[in-house]
Amino acid sequence: RPILEAKHVTKKFPLANGKELIANDDISLKFYKGQTLGIVGESGCGKSTFMRMMVQLEKPTSGKIFFKEKDITKMKGEELRANRRNVQMVFQNPATSFNPKMKVRDIICEPLMNFGLIKKKEKDAIARKYLEMVELPGDFVDRYPHNMSGGQQQRVGIARAIALEPEIIFCDESTSALDVSVQKTILELLVKLQKEKQIALGFICHDLAMISSIAHQVAVMYMGNIVEILPGEKVTEEAMHPYTKALLQSVFDIHMDFSKPIEPLEGEVNGATGEQKGCPFQNRCAYCMKKCREEKPELKTVGEKHELACHLKNTNL
Ligand code: SF4
Ligand code: MG
């Protein structure tokens, strides 16, 4: 049973010209205890919008979001506020989300205080406990955000999130300001904490190679649509969607030997204004057929834990 489940979630935003932007188009995804689901796609594909709905910062236009058995889109007031504790988010740029005048002790304990879960005199011990979990020295409790590196700030952000003992944590690395090696150690820390605490992780990212190395399942998003879902460990060998393959190629480039190389990504990502018929990837796809312009491919099971939305019969191209 999933901890968190998106069922047919659609999010539309009104545009200045009177049309609508479909940021998320009928997305269904499940997050399980102790598992990582990575959502990957280019910037503007709608993955951050999706995450914002999962962490209750925004409501979907239609569809349901279940936390355990309860639809959070129907929650209001106190119930909604209380549920925030279960679904936490780690910000990609913690510096901008921290109050620069607050010490680490207060940064970590603020949500706990807000939820009325601890007393003031417990703050120091609790902040130190969670600093240890994120592998920072206890005396960091007296530091201010500007006295820490980006990686250390990120760790404090994680400490703040896990202090609430949430069931699921979302992390948006797609616009991370951290350099790659720091990002990697932060990732390893999250994976370690996940193993210890059996939390579910939702990881939003634009790096398919990186995400497939840590995620149990990877969902590939294109223009608001999930085009392929498959196990992280199978991405390199079993990816079928032309877009997933193109993403792989742009990452691995020289390491991958496609017998028949896929065309590089070309064409414009046109706004998903809902006017376009057929496959969202048609304008950039080297294999686009007549059917692709007329009929939108639905996600279908093509293997174990593997779903694909593409009309190609032979995806072994
Ligand atoms: Fe390409 Fe057609 Fe598959 Fe879309 S459905 S990815 S256009 S082959
Ligand atoms: Mg984004």
Ligand 1 nearest-atom number relative to CA 241: 6
Q: Which ligand is nearest to the CA of 45?
A: 2
**Domain residue limits, the chain:** 4-86+166-308, 92-165
Q: Which ligand is nearest to the CA of 52?
A: 2
Residue 75 CA to residue 56 CA, distance in Å, equals 10
The fold for domain 4-86+166-308 equals Rossmann fold (3.40.50)
Distances (CA, A) of 285 to 113, 246, 293: 51, 9, 11
* DSSP-derived secondary structure for 60-121: -SEEEEEETTEEGGG--HHHHHHHTTTEEEE-S-HHHHS-TTS-HHHHHHHHHHHTT-S-GG
Rounded to the nearest 5 percent, the helix, strand and coil shares of the chain are 40, 20, 40
The Å distance, Cα 241 to ligand 1 centre, comes to 8
| pLDDT exceeds 50 at position 140 | yes
| pLDDT exceeds 60 at position 129 | yes
The Å distance, Cα 101 to ligand 2 centre, comes to 28
Q: Which of 240, 247, 289 to mutate to test the pocket of ligand 1 (most atoms within 8 A of CB)?
A: 289
Mean pLDDT across the stretch 101-106?
96
Q: How confident is the model at residue 255 (pLDDT cuts 50, 70, 90)?
A: very low
Handedness of CA 302, 37, 74, 50 (dihedral sign): negative
The Å distance, Cα 7 to ligand 1 centre, comes to 24
The Å distance, Cα 123 to ligand 2 centre, comes to 34
Residues 6+ apart with CB under 8 A from 312: 240, 242, 287
pLDDT digits (tens, 9 = 90+) for 187-197: 889 989 999 99
**Protein residues whose CB sits closer than 6 Å to any atom of ligand 1:** 242, 279, 281-282, 285, 287-289, 292, 297, 310-312
pLDDT digits (tens, 9 = 90+) for 22-44: 999 999 999 999 999 999 998 88
* Residue carrying structure tokens 């069922």: 7
**CA-closest residue to ligand 1 atom 3:** 310
pTM value? 0.88
| pLDDT exceeds 90 at position 252 | no
Ligand 1 nearest-atom number relative to CA 287: 8
Name the least confident of 126-140, 211-225, 275-289.
275-289
Please state, for a pLDDT cut of 90, what percent of the chain lies above it: 66
Residue 10 CA to residue 60 CA, distance in Å, equals 6
Residue with the larger pLDDT of the pair 270 and 53:
53
What ipTM, to 2 d.p.?
0.93
